[in-house]
Amino acid sequence: MTLAHETISENRSFGGVQGVYRHQSQATGTAMTFAIYLPPQARHHRVPVLWYLSGLTCTHENAMTKAGAQEWAAEAGIAVIFPDTSPRGEGVADDEAYDLGQGAGFYVDATQKPWAPHFRMWHYITHELPELVFGNFALEREAQGITGHSMGGHGALTIAMTFPERYRSVSAFAPIANPSESDWGRKQLSAYLGEDRAAWAGHDSTLLMREKGYSGEVLIDQGSKDQFLDLLKPEALAHAMAERRQPGVFRMQEGYDHSYFFVQSFMGDHIQWHAERLG
- Tens of pLDDT, residues 106-157: 999 999 999 999 999 999 999 999 999 999 999 999 999 999 999 999 999 9
**Does 23 qualify as catalytic in the annotation?**
no
pLDDT averaged over every residue in the chain: 97
C-alpha span between 125 and 109 (Å, rounded): 10
**Does 226 qualify as catalytic in the annotation?**
yes
Q: How confident is the model at residue 262 (pLDDT cuts 50, 70, 90)?
A: very high
Task: Render pLDDT for 56-97 as a digit per residue (tens, 0 to 9).
Answer: 999 999 999 999 999 999 999 999 999 999 999 999 999 999
Read off the pTM: 0.97
The contacts of residue 153 (CB under 8 Å, 6+ apart) are 53, 55, 147, 172, 173, 174, 175, 176, 177, 220
Instruction: Identify the structural domains of the chain with CATH numbers, from first to last.
Output: 6-278 (3.40.50.1820)
Q: Does position 3 have pLDDT exceeding 80, yes or no?
A: no
**Bond preceding residue 114 cis, omega within 30 of 0:** yes
- Residue in 118, 258, 270, 274 annotated catalytic: 258
Q: How far is CA 220 from CA 28, 76, 147, 189, 238, in A?
A: 30, 20, 10, 23, 9
C-alpha span between 231 and 184 (Å, rounded): 6
- Residue in 13, 25, 54, 150 annotated catalytic: 150
- For residue 240, the surrounding DSSP H or E stretch is helix 234-244
C-alpha span between 204 and 37 (Å, rounded): 29
Q: Euclidean distance between the first and final Cα of the chain, in Å?
A: 27
Q: How confident is the model at residue 1 (pLDDT cuts 50, 70, 90)?
A: very low
Task: Render pLDDT for 13-41 as a digit per residue (tens, 0 to 9).
Answer: 999 999 999 999 999 999 999 999 999 99
Whole-angstrom Cα Rg for the chain: 17
